[in-house]
Structure 1
Amino acid sequence: SQLKDAGLTVFHVVPTLRAALKAVDAGVDGLVVEGSEGGGFKNPSDVSTMVLLPLVASKVEVPVIAAGGFVDGRTMAAALALGAEAIQMGTRMVATVESPIHENWKQAIVDASETDTVLLNRHAAPSLRVLRTDRSNALEFDTSTNAMEHMARHSELYFGGDMDAALALGGAVAGRIESIEPVADVIKNCSNECLEVLRNLGSTYVK
């Protein structure tokens, strides 16, 4: 309530329906509904965006932004069909010209396949989806170590480019990112493709 009292619009990131309903009851203006394929900090009980987004959208009356797995106009069109008003792109924006992180991290995203992320810390909280590196591979099936202990040297990764200094947060959608582009191009291409996809769907299936 302090944020809203200050005149701010509040959107809360939620990984489950329960969290979404709790946030709405607390008075948020909207929700960012993020599935487990998204990069970064996650709920240990993971739910994909395809399941979570339409579920939450059907139960709340506040605006919903979809996150986790969105990278272009085609995925944006899917989000709109599933009940979202907009999308949030994280990993795609990391791999942009303007992103301040080291080029090694950006290139690791471009080089990644669709299986080159790992969900760590299922036994603890928070879980993390990160890019596959020697460090994250060693932790993938480790149920005794809290992966957060491996974030202490994050500045050496973010700005120094040492991909094994810490865990490089990243979503599974890295497997669909093929180049480092200017932010303006990412947004323009996403918007244009989304409209094209929606028009094509309408002309194909609406008779």
Structure 2
Amino acid sequence: MAVAELKQGRKPAQLEMIGGKSSRQRIWELIRSSENKERFVGDFIIKYANVDEDTYYTYVQCLLAGGYLEQLEEGGRRRQRVFRLVKDCGLEAPRLDRNGNPTKSGRGIEAVWRTLRMMGELDAGILYSHVNAAGIDLAISTIKSYITALKRAGYLVVTRPSTPNRMERFCLKAGMNTGPRPPQVQRVKTVYDPNLNKVMYAEDPQEAL
């Protein structure tokens, strides 16, 4: 791997997404399709999910370890091995580690976004209570940072400013309930909405000076 690739690390979500869907989501949807459930090979999935072989193979190994797939034929090359789906958990791609165990990554932000979509006016404290009541451990500082990013990106309107004795209250703006997948705050200081497949906010470099 080139030094430049090592320094860059993982690409921002908007560069990995196609049509607002991650590479794993595209792989999963193709595996679930009626013509592939009983028998599929990597060549087909790689081509139509528009992913590279390593991305495909890594996720297939996670699905195998988690009991979602069964291998039917070895094949000469790994992209020619034949599998079938044995555990269909629904539309959303299973989030698994390399041992096939469900990961908790992103669950907290998903819960925050879901609560914002379901409820009206609220504050960070109410969000914290709802998220933790769902059994998800998420720091209130993380919630506040996410809310700040959503305000900058135009998702939220402040309905009551904060005072020394009470928290700011806010709600989703009309028309900004864009879908079930939470907008993602990137390390490159952008907010990406996978429902719209669109960058909703990018920090002006001059503002950081």
TM-score normalised by L of structure 2: 0.25
Which of structures 1 and 2 has the bigger CA Rg? 2
TM-score normalised by L of structure 1: 0.26
Considering Cα pairs closer than 8 Å and 6+ residues apart, tell me whether 1 or 2 has the greater RCO.
Answer: 1
